[in-house]
Amino acid sequence: MVARAQQFSTHRALVVEDNEHVCYMLEFILRRAGYDVNAVPNGRDAQAAIENLEPVDVVLLDLMLPYISGYQLITEIREDPLWQHVPIVVLSGKVLEHDIVKALDLGANDYVTKPFRPEELLARLRRVVADHERLMPPS
Amino acid sequence: MEWLFRSEFDAITTVALWSIAVVVATTIVLFVYTLGLRFATLASDRRRARFIRAWRDVFASAMLSEDAARQCTLPPVGRSSRTDLLEEWNHSRSMVDGTAAENLIVLARRTGIPGLALNLLHKRRVRPRILAVQTFGHLRDSRRRDDIRSLLDHENTALSITAAVALVDIDPSYAVPIVIPMIEKRRDWPRNRISIMLRMAGSERISEPMYRAIRSANNANRTYLLQFSRLIEAEVLDALLEDLIRDSNDPGVLNAALKLVGGFGGVPRIAALTQHDAWFVRMQAAKVLGRIGQEEHLSLLESLLDDPEWWVRYRAAQAIASLPFLGPNCLRRLRERQSDRYASDILQQSFAEVGLA
């Protein structure tokens, strides 16, 4: 599966994750799957990335972050004129129904709980990126 | 240095000069020693970072492929790096589930991680023992089940809860009947770790033991245990709440149970609780009726609008505003017919919150 993704994917991903170990692993897994990855360790740096970077193809977002929560970031991404259509996949240890509903209501495209299955995570990323490209073909 | 040995100085000056010389020499030695320590620490940190990076790559590759887990080249592990290896493996293992977790277990067996953990299990210090127990849990090594079970009663909270989580990881069917009755006894166990453990065990496994534990507990323990009952199966939870709301008159239990009500069971009793002596029970009952109440409960909710407690009035007004069978006109008429000023005001506020001002 990874090899197939490697052949076709040249997408850019923004990973927002405060746990250094998890972040390293996500970067490794996504790079192996062919993504060009930018990783930031907190909400403030994520805000700066949203302000300064070109929109990426997908944001992989933790919810419990230093300075600014993942929920707040979802809201800000959905209000940003350039980033508002970027798909957001939440990867969080919060597993209660109301946390998941809140993230999806705010505008996340998908929600994966920790501990996660790497292949499933990659499949979900592929799907949201493909859906996004179908709706908004790259100019 | 010859001047130090000259005899023309008097005794006091000689002592002072010698003292200064000793202080300067000691300072230089300490400075060199500190520099040496600093360089040694930096070198050790760099070595450790290289070691961790190399192994993280191995763990990440193994997560993605069983072939990598079975065949990849393993970086060397020095004696001083064994704890780092165990910690890193446990971090990686706790991050993933499914095939990736299985692959990491395959890799751990190749690496000799079970042997390293076994060496730590019987150490006197608690920290290595916690690491060992966590490792055996993540390895799902059933041969260590009895060793780990014996640690459940350990006085150290971290070791005890780690043992409980590890036991669930190794064999949930065996562990659940043992650890669930312990939850009320070990109030020192952190709640988030209890939730994680129960979630790991799965709602279908924990539902019946949790039901029994809550039913047989005293009121204080029932209230405590109810906070974990969201994790049990919905139909068991509904039955449990119906039983508790019907049979209990303890305000703490009723409050905790009413917070969890989601189904339609036990509505007559819930309606009766709007008249309970404890204001927070009346408030919770009003909130529940706002979600599941029928037309016949409207008068009950209206009667709470002039309750002496502000929160009860407020929640009753919110409940009335959220009743699905009342349209905006009905709600306005209801507000107009209130003779009590407080009732009218609180309705006004609640209606404004939902855009009905």
CA–CA separation, B191 and B211 (whole Å): 18
Minimal Cα–Cα distance from B26 to chain A, Å? Answer: 42
Q: Is A24 in Cβ contact with B95 (below 8 Å)?
A: no
Best residue in A18, A28, A113, A120 for a mutation probing chain B (most B CBs within 10 Å): A28
pLDDT one digit per residue (tens) for chain B, 357 residues? 666 666 677 889 889 999 999 999 999 999 999 999 999 999 999 999 999 999 999 999 999 999 999 999 999 898 889 999 999 999 999 999 999 999 999 999 999 999 999 999 989 999 999 999 999 999 998 899 999 999 999 999 999 999 999 999 999 999 999 999 999 999 999 998 999 899 999 999 999 999 999 999 999 999 999 999 988 998 999 899 989 998 888 999 999 999 988 777 677 788 888 889 999 999 999 998 888 878 888 888 988 988 889 999 999 999 998 888 888 888 888 888 888 888 888 888 888 888 776
Residue span of the structural domain in which A8 resides = 2-125
CA–CA separation, A30 and A103 (whole Å): 22
ipTM for the predicted complex comes to: 0.84
Give the residue on B whose Cα is nearest the Cα of A121: B96
Residue A66 domain-assigned?
yes
- Chain A, 50 to 69: residues with Cβ < 8 Å from chain B are none
Q: Is A28 in Cβ contact with B56 (below 8 Å)?
A: yes
User: What string of DSSP letters covers B262-274?
Assistant: -SSTTHHHHHHGG
Query: Hey, is B96 helix, strand or coil?
Result: strand
- Chain A, 106 to 135: residues with Cβ < 8 Å from chain B are 114-120
Task: Provide the CATH number for the domain around residue A25.
Answer: 3.40.50.2300
Residue A139 domain-assigned?
no
Question: What are the tokens at B229?
Answer: 């009952």
The answer to pTM > 0.95 is: no
Q: Cβ-count burial of A57 within 10 angstroms (0-12 exposed, 13-18 middle, 19+ buried)?
A: buried
A vs B: CB pairs below 8 A: 50
Question: What are the tokens at A102?
Answer: 């809140």
Minimal Cα–Cα distance from B307 to chain A, Å? Answer: 31
Cβ-proximal residues to A86 (8 Å cutoff; 6+ apart), any chain = A55, A56, A57, A58, A59, A77, A132
CA distances to A40, A82, A89 from A16, in Å: 5, 18, 10
- Rounded-to-10 torsion of CA B307, B313, B317, B319: -90
Question: What are the tokens at B45?
Answer: 């940190």
User: What string of DSSP letters covers chain A?
Assistant: -HHHHHHH---EEEEE-S-HHHHHHHHHHHHHTT-EEEEESSHHHHHHHHHHSPP-SEEEE-SS-SSS-HHHHHHHHHH-TTTTTS-EEEEES--SHHHHHHHHHHT-SEEEESSB-HHHHHHHHHHHHHHHHHHS---
The answer to whether A18 touches A42, Cβ cutoff 8 Å, is yes
Q: Domain count of chain A?
A: 1
Residue A136 domain-assigned?
no
CA–CA separation, B95 and A36 (whole Å): 22
CA–CA separation, B237 and A61 (whole Å): 32
Question: What are the tokens at A31?
Answer: 């790079």
Residue A67 domain-assigned?
yes
A24 in contact with chain B, both atoms CB, cutoff 8 A: yes
Minimal Cα–Cα distance from A126 to chain B, Å? Answer: 16
Query: Which of B57, B63, B230 is nearest residue A118 as measured by Cβ atoms?
Result: B63
Residue A55 domain-assigned?
yes
Q: Which amino acid, one-letter code, is at B83? A: T
Query: Hey, is B38 helix, strand or coil?
Result: helix
Minimal Cα–Cα distance from A118 to chain B, Å? Answer: 7
Q: Is B65 in Cβ contact with A2 (below 8 Å)?
A: yes
Residue A137 domain-assigned?
no
The answer to whether A107 touches A83, Cβ cutoff 8 Å, is no
Minimal Cα–Cα distance from B29 to chain A, Å? Answer: 39
Q: Is B99 in Cβ contact with A115 (below 8 Å)?
A: no
Domains plus CATH for chain B? 266-357 (1.25.10.10)
Let me know how long chain B is: 357
- Chain B, 153 to 182: residues with Cβ < 8 Å from chain A are none
At CA B187, angle to CA B182 and CA B193, rounded to 5? 80
* Chain A hits for B199, Cβ within 8 Å: 95
Residue A115 domain-assigned?
yes
Q: Cβ-count burial of A83 within 10 angstroms (0-12 exposed, 13-18 middle, 19+ buried)?
A: buried
Query: Which of A25, A119, A120 is nearest residue B95 as measured by Cβ atoms?
Result: A25
Query: Hey, is B305 helix, strand or coil?
Result: helix
Residue A131 domain-assigned?
no
DSSP, res B125 = S
Minimal Cα–Cα distance from A101 to chain B, Å? Answer: 16
